[in-house]
Chain A
């Protein structure tokens, strides 16, 4: 019986064939390059504690490596399929019952495997270098899922391009076009056309602090659209063009419907705890996220110092400081009187100067237009006066307005502070739509 089993021809399974395909030729070399560069990039991003605590920042960093891995993977796919065709492998496969599409799809699988492997290694490097004491929520998994689908869609697009053209320029041109799409949409968004955010392969300029997580209202439609693109190309490669066109139209419709009906942001505030940990001292209260209680003493010390030096010129100093996200209000919007939102998540608690600077800025009344440069400059002058009053060295020339003002009476300083803050609010009239 055993001899009969031994004589039975062994059927090669897809994972085995894909693994063999992925470890030779173009996929092997492209994979080695992509792993090396993603490790270098993700390692650089996570150096010196630059990532916020929690899982969102390293997962986002790892996923962001897909913005340069996917274009190169697409170009390498073009090269791979063209080489297969030039050497006659596709003609040989076309003579089999399954046809050439099976061989082409196998090329796509092998290149997807190496690209996702590079993505995974880069993400692991970012995760290892990050402070994972922060939160992990299910919504954060949307980041690597988007990156994987983006890479798969790019590889399939490359494979399809490789079947269409023999041009040696097709690979690099496709790579540069995909990279350009990742950056061009960002330029367009600066003009205020926020719907172009939906066309970005991966929104790059969003950082994830402890209080933030991906907004599923934005990421789920994007995930569906990317999946539809990948499915459409796969169907076209399998000679089911009508179904492929249908899938592409469905993906576009999902994206269009989401862009026109939903108004989500890329990030959203996490659900705050009902009873966040707080510290009290000298009439000042500091509340932090449970994962950031180690920052509370530094914030509290800074808040007490700010109150001690400035209560004569700023009578409405807040009595409660909440970390970003612990208040129901959005950052930058006016909150209840006597409460200030302090975002100190990006500073190290040993860096007391940074904490002091953030507490000072948060001690002012909420800005009506935080992104208006004229308003921000005027508020910066007030913060600088607070620093001078505390005796901190400030990078100003001797005889500067702030230096002179700090030597005058508290009444004069208080009037100047009030006038400057009113002027800062008046500057908001120049920018009614308060968009970044």
Chain B
């Protein structure tokens, strides 16, 4: 009887290696750091707005959620593009599961300091991850963070109308988002996931 070949690494080491390949440790560190900083921050901040004459209050949770989404988007690249391609169906599941789990973790972590702003955190995080995944498919995972960052920074300066209300395109800064806003963000996340996960893996 031929002896069974011994694996090169124990299973838990294999999991760690795979997780490191996807930068999961870095993503978790970013999300945890953002949530920890949130413990020191106020609920709402007054950011410099160019287009509003009224005082515009921005939820810190939404800003933190976008920052945490950068951590999620770090995992959008694959360590190798050859081996996972041999099983495309499982590859799509792995990719979707990975990003969805991390997005849920990011929303939960960022909502901890501001539980009453959960809807704002959910809306901002899902929109940011969705946008980033769409860009990751088009331009590569290294640039994925630029679209949410550009969107949220432009929205803080120009996204408010004269009376302090948000323009439609700046919905991800809503303090109390409408259900339509949250649904739009979830739809963006779904679209981004499908478009990105069905695309070719990029290292």
Contact = CB atoms under 8 A, between A and B. Distances in A.
Interface in A31-47: 33-34, 37-38, 40-42, 44-45
B51 A45 contact: yes
A223 interface: no
Contacts of B195: none
7 smallest beta-carbon distances between A and B, as pairs: A29-B139, A41-B158, A68-B153, A204-B48, A41-B154, A172-B145, A79-B142
A40 B48 CA distance: 18
A144 interface: no
18 contacts: A33-B146, A33-B150, A40-B158, A41-B154, A41-B158, A45-B51, A65-B158, A68-B150, A71-B153, A72-B153, A75-B149, A76-B143, A83-B142, A171-B145, A175-B149, A204-B50, A204-B157, A205-B48
A320 B67 CA distance: 55
Contact of B48 (A44, A61, A183): A183
B150 A29 contact: no
Contacts of A34: 150
B147 interface: yes
Contacts of A363: none
Q: B47, B139, B146: which has the most chain A beta carbons within 10 Å? A: B146
Contacts of B157: 41, 64-65, 67-68, 204
A30 interface: yes
Contact of B23 (A33, A71, A168, A182): A168
Given A45-B51, A79-B143, A179 B153 contact: yes
A75 B145 contact: yes
Contact of B154 (A68, A75, A204): A68
Given A30-B143, A34-B150, A37-B150, 5 more contacts: A41-B154, A61-B50, A82-B142, A183-B156, A205-B48
Contacts of A41: 154, 157-158
Contacts of A79: 142-143
Contact of A186 (B48, B135, B140, B143): B48
Contacts of A172: 70, 145, 149
Contacts of A205: 48
B20 interface: no
B48 A75 contact: no
B51 A50 contact: yes
A26 interface: yes
Interface string A129-169: 00000000000000000000000000000000000000011
B92 interface: no
Nearest to B142: A79
Contacts of A30: 143, 146
A426 interface: no
A92 interface: no
Interface residues of A, number: 37
A72 B146 contact: yes
Given A41-B154, A169-B26, A29 B149 contact: no
Contact of B142 (A64, A168, A179): A168
A176 interface: yes
A64 B49 CA distance: 10
Contacts of A175: 145-146, 149
B169 interface: yes
Interface in A17-36: 26, 29-30, 33-34
A220 to B, nearest CB: 23
Contacts of B47: 183
Interface string A184-208: 0010000000000000000011000
A392 B148 CA distance: 47
Contacts of B74: 168-169
B162 interface: yes
A29 B140 CA distance: 10
B158 A45 contact: yes
B138 interface: yes
A176 B67 contact: yes
B153 A44 contact: no
Interface in A70-85: 71-72, 75-76, 79, 82-83
A44 B52 CA distance: 11
A253 B21 CA distance: 46
Contacts of A182: 48
B159 interface: yes
B167 interface: yes
